[in-house]
């Protein structure tokens, strides 16, 4: 039902919505990062140690006692992982 309501609102408001291409990817990454942080917090509250997080092509993982980050261009639109 929520898809129907969201679709109807999207069609009704389409003429007033403007999408700035330069903000699309950063806002997408921030929303995915916020979502994945929710998974990490839920795991932390249940006593599960965090091993890392990936948002698009940016990964941050724990390797031994250190935190390591890397960027992989081929995964730039791949979503997130926690």
Chain segment 58-79, per-residue pLDDT in tens: 888 888 889 899 888 887 777 7
- Is residue 57 one of the residues assigned to a domain? yes
Q: Which two tokens stand for residue 44?
A: 């932390």
pTM for the predicted model, two decimal places? 0.67
- Is residue 13 one of the residues assigned to a domain? no
pLDDT of residue 76: 76
- Is residue 15 one of the residues assigned to a domain? no
- Is residue 12 one of the residues assigned to a domain? no
Chain segment 5-61, per-residue pLDDT in tens: 877 877 777 777 777 778 877 888 889 889 999 998 999 999 998 888 888 888 888
- Is residue 59 one of the residues assigned to a domain? yes
pLDDT of residue 38: 92
DSSP code per residue over 30-76? HHHHHHHHHHHHHHHHTTPPP-EEEETTEEEEEETTEEEEEE-GGGT
- Is residue 54 one of the residues assigned to a domain? yes
pLDDT of residue 47: 92
Q: Which domain holds residue 24?
A: 20-81
- Is residue 63 one of the residues assigned to a domain? yes
Counted domains in the chain = 1
């Amino acid at each position: 039902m929520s898809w129907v309501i969201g679709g109807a609102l999207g069609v009704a408001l389409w003429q007033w919505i403007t999408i700035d291409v330069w903000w699309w990817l950063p806002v997408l990454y921030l929303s995915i990062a916020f979502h994945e942080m929710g998974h990490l917090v839920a795991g932390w509250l249940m006593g599960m140690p965090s091993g890392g997080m990936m948002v698009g092509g940016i990964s941050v993982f724990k390797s031994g006692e250190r935190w390591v980050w890397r960027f992989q261009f081929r995964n730039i639109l791949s979503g997130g992982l926690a």
